[in-house]
Amino acid sequence: MRTYASRKMLLSALALLVATAAWGQDSAHRASDDAVKTADVLIRGAKVYTVSGRGTLEQGDVLVRGGKIAAVAASTENLQAPGASVVEAKGRALTPGIFAGLSHIGLEEISAESSTVDATLDFKAPAWDQKWRPEFDVTPAFNPRSTLIPVVRNEGLTWTVLEPASGDSIIAGQGVAVTLDGTLGVASRAALEGSRSLFVQLGSAAESHSGGSRAAAYMLLDQAIGEARSQGAIGQDALLHPAGRAVLARYLSGGRVVFAVERAADILEVIAFAERNHIKAVVSGGSEAWLVAPALARAHVPVILNVLQDLPTDLDRLSSRLDNAARLQRAGVMIAFSTGESHKAGTVRQLAGNAAAHGLAWDAALAAITANPADIFGLGATRGRIEKGQAADLVLWSGDPLEVTSAADQVWIDGRAFDMRSRQTELLHRYRGAKAR
Amino acid sequence: MSKRSVAFISVLLTSCAALPPAKESATSPHSAQPTPTSARAPYSSTYEARPSPATLIRGGTILTGSGNRLDGDVLIVNGHIEAVGPNLHAPEGARVIDAKGRWVTPGIIDIHSHLGVYPSPQLKALSDGNELTSPVTPNVWAEHSIWPQDPGFETALEGGVTTLEILPGSGNLIGGRSVVVKNVHATTYQAMKFPGAAQGLKMACGENPKRVYGSKGQAPSTLMGDVAGYRQAFADAQDYKRQWEKYERELAEYQKKNANDKEGSGEKKPPPSPPKRDLKLDTLADVLKGDIRVQMHCYRADEMATMLDVADEFGFKIVAFHHAVEAYKVADLLAQKNVCAAMWADWWGFKLEAYDGIQENIALVDAPANSCAMLHSDSEDGIQRLNQEAAKAMSRGVRAGLDIPPERAIRWLTLNPAKALGIDKQTGVLDAGKNADVVIWNHNPFSVYALADEVYIDGNLMFDRAHPPARPPSDFMLGQPDTEGTP
């Protein structure tokens, strides 16, 4: 029972040899040419979860040309694709690339080693001397060669939103959605246009940044907004530098601001604050959001949540519930899921599966890690669905895409098929069956 | 990373990674003299299983916990498993549960938890898991920090956890004694304590102790400082143990002499005086005698090998390495030395010693003959879904070419942790005579969609999804607004 399947082992070993050779070539290729060519491909006979108005095609074909989805059709239509390589899905599930959540992927290599972490701006200024820096943007620190990227990509994740973490100010800074294709280039190459957002930390987690009271967060925010709207000279006691004024002003005319907030009463304050200031608000966290679901729905404020938050981790989260997602969805609130993890961002599928186990419709759970986050971050026209014209970010699964026992068999980003290797698969191959020395 | 995760990591970095109490581990060999105020040994368990009706769980798919799978019935009588098999007869008056289409497993055992010592809510007043005032604190006991009101006990129960080991954190080289508890609602920790279970000793390898103390400018600040710290502590314990053995020898001789000298003809000599009791060395001496089980936080393969040598030098046994992220690199060594490894399914990268984590770890550690792989949570979230974590680890192993059916994988949550805690005679397996710690799942537990429908501890229905709450909410959650909400 506990023996290795030895024939399988031999085959894997052979596959490893072949793959190793291919790997060497591939690396060499990439080093010399970072403009990766994508071949046209026809994925045939898949169960296609389009996450669009077309729903799910039980037997469908997807044609990828030039990195984009060129056609989606039922297999009975017998799509022809001369020159395209063919992948036989044999009934396996095909989904859009999965959203890795709000993360530090590419900003953080080893969490406890500060020299490898770039997600937080903290000048360690005393509160009375503090400048807010909304102009801080984590994007230039994004490292497409991070070892996290192949690891999470192998889990079916194709894009993430880089989230600056709050340092010594409730304004954490700006972040942007990036593709996880891992191609070396300036960070702006990986950035997905139209997704830039400002991140604000509120609630008990930010009290220490506003003099010990969450009420003062609004006092300071109002002061900063006044400065951003003012054309006057900048006083010595100003919260903002000129660059910060310019950046904040942009967000005050319909820009997207992600508020990390948990307590029901605080969420209502955020809704009112955003309406007052013409901000497109997004709630992240939202443990008690279900209590104010109608208000969120009315104000069209989406919620990015961790479905598994069910304990009163602090007094802001006393009413955490496992069916938060289901209740928000029923009330008409747009939801997306995020683990708050970077290394383990792949567990976002587990969140979706658990949401489905706790009352959320299965299709809505899949949408919460594909189309919904794309819509929330202004990317819905190009990502998050299997639809003609969308980027060919696709995942072929060994089983139910939300099931923990399923794995991604193949991942494509912009039509490029990845070899599904990572530092972790290298370690596995080195130590599988090895004797300790 | 969210604020929660940041807070989580900071905790993580220092948090860790029905028999008579025959040998109540609370009593050190040297505490025989205290004047008892009652018949009960101080700190011993006051848990008593409530009487429960005979129960027949009929027609489920049964994973016994020890490697077998069958379709059949589980009969519970007097809080114990009476029989497991097909077509069992329900005694008169028995409660009969239809488990057709459902799965039945032993209650889940989490060998690494900080529930109660790092409870929810994470308030300063409740942060009692690490005595970070000295790197060697075997004198402290996790049980004295437990807040029984932690709502995490309830959510863990809903995930099928019936037994857990609660340990001190990992900020110290030697962090203190752990305790095994039953996941029962109680006002005192003594009423949760698993009767007869030995205590453990939490020790920690690696980065945490050297960071905590190195940053204070004191030892240890390096890995070699870590090892010197363990060695000195056990050298002191050996000396302490010898002093007590010498005293006990002299006392026996004195008593013998007095008994032979009934007439009192000889000179009256005073009895030998005992050495001064040292609470730190009491614990370590009990480890040397094998009465306290060493549970050691250790990520890296090379450090595990070092610690096995330390244990050999001083003659104690390391029962299990916890957070053993690199155990797959020394799977054969661990099996050969009969040492268990407690692991996560997919944690990695949060510090350098976790950088080599792979998702096949548990499956690879499980592969050799005589292995003892376990899945642990170290998390108030993970403990609620250990079945899902096992499902991930199992499927990763299968994908890597290993043959791991559910009946084998369930051992990571049942028999193996029971063995590592020394409670496998009482629980961890659905076998006649064992405590009736049983979970009925709505379907195959190795799935993200699986939910525990019913959870029994010693035959008592502790959680019933169809009729929540089968167990009262913690005192802390009583009267909080909208915690249940309206559907």
Residues 217-256 of B with CB under 8 A from A: none
Confidence of residue B302 (pLDDT cuts 50, 70, 90): very high
Q: For residues A270-275, give the mean pLDDT.
A: 97
Chain B nearest-CA residue for A314: B121
pLDDT tens digits, one per residue of B308-365: 999 999 999 999 999 999 999 999 999 999 999 999 999 999 999 999 999 999 999 9
CA distance B477 to A385: 42
| Confidence band of B9 (pLDDT split at 50, 70, 90) | very low
Q: Residue A162: beta bridge partners?
A: A103
Phi, psi of B57 (to 5 degrees): -95, 110
User: What are the residues facing A74 on neighbouring strands?
Assistant: A60
Residue B368 reports pLDDT greater than 90: yes
pLDDT, mean over chain B: 92
Over residues A377-389, mean pLDDT = 98
Name the least confident of A73-82, A126-135, A200-209, B110-119.
A126-135
The pLDDT value given to residue B132: 98
Average pLDDT score, chain A: 90
Contact A354 B357 (CB under 8 A): no
Distance CA B322, CA B345 (A): 13
Task: Report how many Cβ contacts below 8 Å link chain A to chain B.
Answer: 189
Residue in chain B lying closest to A111 (CA): B350
Would the CB atoms of B447 and A341 count as touching at under 8 Å? no
pLDDT score, position B101: 97
* Chain position carrying tokens 């009487």: B51
Residue A4 pLDDT: 35
Residue A23 contacts residue A420 (beta carbons within 8 Å) = no
Distance from CA of B52 to the nearest CA of A (A): 30
Mapped onto helix, strand or coil, the DSSP state of residue A317 is: helix
Q: Does B479 touch chain A (CB under 8 A)?
A: no
CA distance A360 to chain B (A): 12
Cross-chain Cβ contact B352/A113 below 8 Å: yes
Per-residue pLDDT at B37: 60
| Highest-pLDDT range among A96-110, A236-250, B35-49 | A96-110
The alpha-carbon gap from B403 to the nearest alpha carbon of chain A, in Å, equals 6
Task: Tell me: pLDDT of B380 over 90.
Answer: yes
Interface of B with A in 140-199 (CB under 8 A): 151-152, 155
Of A133, A130, A259, the C-alpha closest to A199 is A259
Query: What H or E segment, with its residue span, contains residue A335?
Result: strand A335-337
Question: B355 and B332 in contact (C-beta within 8 Å)?
Answer: no
Contact between A436 and B482 using a beta-carbon 8 Å cutoff: no
As a whole number of angstroms, the distance between CA A347 and CA A99 comes to 11
d(CA A371, CA A52): 8
**Nearest CA-CA distance, residue B86 and chain A, Å:** 23
pTM score, whole prediction: 0.92
pLDDT of residue A166: 86
Q: Flag if A104 and B4 touch (Cβ within 8 Å).
A: no
Please indicate whether, in this complex, the C-beta atoms of A431 and B367 are within 8 angstroms of each other: no
Question: How far apart are the C-alpha atoms of B322 and B15, rounded to whole Å?
Answer: 12
Task: Show the CA angle centred on residue B204, arms to residues B176 and B342, nearest 5°.
Answer: 100
Give B 318-357 residues with CB within 8 A of chain A: 328-333, 346-352, 355-357
Contact criterion met (CB below 8 Å) for A387 and A347: no
CA distance B62 to A162: 45
Q: What's the mean pLDDT in B159-182?
A: 98
Kindly provide the b/e burial profile for residues B458-475, where b requires at least 16 CB atoms within 10 angstroms of the residue's own CB. Answer: bbbbbbbeeeeebbebbe
Q: What is the distance in angstroms between the Cα of B125 and the nearest Cα belonging to chain A?
A: 12
Q: What's A223-246 look like in SS3?
A: HHHHHHHCCCCCCCCCCECHHHHH
Residue B137: the pLDDT is 98
> Using a CB-CB distance cutoff of 8 angstroms, which residues of chain A are in contact with residue B356?
427
Q: How many CB atoms lie within 10 A of CB A233?
A: 6
Instruction: State yes or no: pLDDT of A172 exceeds 60.
Output: yes
Across the interface, whether the CB atoms of A8 and B401 are under 8 A apart is answered yes
User: Residue B305: CB partners within 8 Å, gap ≥ 6?
Assistant: A436, B330, B333
The encoded tokens of residue A412 equal 């494509």
Identify which of B332, B355, B405 has the shortest CB distance to residue A435.
B332
Contacts of A350 in chain B (CB under 8 A): 388, 392, 448
> How far is Cα A344 from Cα B361, in angstroms, rounded to an integer?
15
Q: Is A423 left (phi over 0), alpha (psi -120 to 50) or beta?
A: alpha
Contact residues, B window 260-279, toward A, CB-based 8 Å cutoff: none
Q: B221-252 in b/e burial notation, b at 16+ Cβ within 10 A? A: bebebbbebbeebbebbbebbebbeeeeeeee
B343 φ/ψ sector (left φ>0, alpha ψ -120 to 50, else beta): beta
Closest CA to A146 of A111, A174, A122, A176: A111
The pLDDT confidence band at residue B1, using thresholds 50, 70 and 90, is very low
Peptide bond into B121 cis (omega under 30): yes
pLDDT of residue B313: 98
Q: Which residues pair with B381 in a beta bridge?
A: none
Structure tokens at B81: 């498993």
Look up the CATH architecture of domain B3-48+108-224+279-428: Alpha-Beta Barrel (3.20)
Contacts of B360 in chain A (CB under 8 A): 428, 432
> 395-434 in B: which are within 8 Å (CB) of A?
395-396, 399-405, 408
pLDDT score of A437 more than 80:
no
Nearest residue in chain A measured CA to CA from B369:
A2
B380 neighbors B387 (Cβ within 8 angstroms)? no
Name the 3-class secondary structure at B416.
Answer: helix
What is the C-alpha separation between A93 and A49, in angstroms, rounded? Answer: 7
Could you give the CA distance from residue B251 to residue B177 in angstroms, rounded to a whole number? 29
Average pLDDT (A309-326) is 96
Q: How many beta carbons lie within 10 A of that of residue B194, not counting itself? A: 23
* CB-CB under 8 Å, B3 with A291: no
Contacts of the segment A58-62: beta carbons below 8 A, 24+ positions apart = A59/A91, A60/A94, A62/A94, A62/A386, A62/A394
CA distance to A105, A111, A175, A206, B154, per residue, from A164 (Å): 11, 14, 6, 14, 34
What are the structural domains of chain A? 34-97+385-437 (2.30.40.10), 98-383 (3.20.20.140)
Q: What angle do CA B221, B224, B226 make, to 5 degrees?
A: 60
- Two structure tokens written together for A211: 């003099």
CB contacts, 8 Å: A341 with chain B:
1, 5
pLDDT of residue A126: 78
CB contact under 8 A, B392 and A404: yes
Share of chain B above pLDDT 90, in %: 86
- How large is the average pLDDT for residues B275-299? 98
pLDDT at B307: 98
Name which of B369, B381, B395 is nearest A308 (Cβ-Cβ).
B381
A149 Cβ contact list (under 8 Å, min separation 6): A105, A106, A180, A182
- The residues facing A132 across adjacent strands are A240
Phi-psi region for residue A330, left (φ > 0), alpha (ψ -120 to 50) or beta? Answer: alpha
Q: For residues A116 and A152, is the Cβ–Cβ distance under 8 A?
A: no
Picking from A189, A172, A114, A117, the residue whose alpha carbon sits closest to that of residue A146 is A117
Q: Quick check: A388 and A72 in contact, CB under 8 A?
A: yes
State how far the alpha carbon of A347 is from the alpha carbons of A353, A354, A369, in Å: 10, 11, 11
pLDDT at A10 over 80: no
Mutation pick from A404, A409, A410, A437 vs chain B, by most beta carbons of B within 10 Å, is A404
Per-domain residue ranges for chain B?
3-48+108-224+279-428
If pLDDT is split at 50, 70 and 90, which confidence band does B303 have? very high
If DSSP codes are grouped into helix, strand and coil, which group holds residue A120?
Answer: strand
| Residues of A with Cβ-Cβ distance to B120 under 8 angstroms | 311-313
Contacts of A106 in chain B (CB under 8 A): none
Q: Where are the beta strands (DSSP E) in B154-240?
A: 161-166, 174-182, 200-204
CA of A5 vs chain B CAs: smallest distance (Å): 6
E strand spans, A181-320: 197-201, 256-261, 280-285, 303-305
Chain A contact present for B366, CB below 8 A: yes
ipTM: 0.92
Task: Please tell me the distance in Å from A265's CA to the nearest CA on chain B.
Answer: 12
Q: How many CA atoms lie within 13 A of B81 on its CB side?
A: 26
How sure is the predictor about B15, in pLDDT bands with cuts at 50, 70 and 90? low
Cβ within 8 Å, pair B391-A405: yes
**pLDDT at residue B372 is higher than 70:** yes
**Is residue A330 within 8 Å of A81, Cβ to Cβ?**
no
What distance in Å separates residue A132's CA from the closest CA in chain B? 19
Q: Do A260 and B2 touch (CB under 8 A)?
A: yes
Which of A1, A165, A290 has the CB atom closest to B485's CB atom? A290
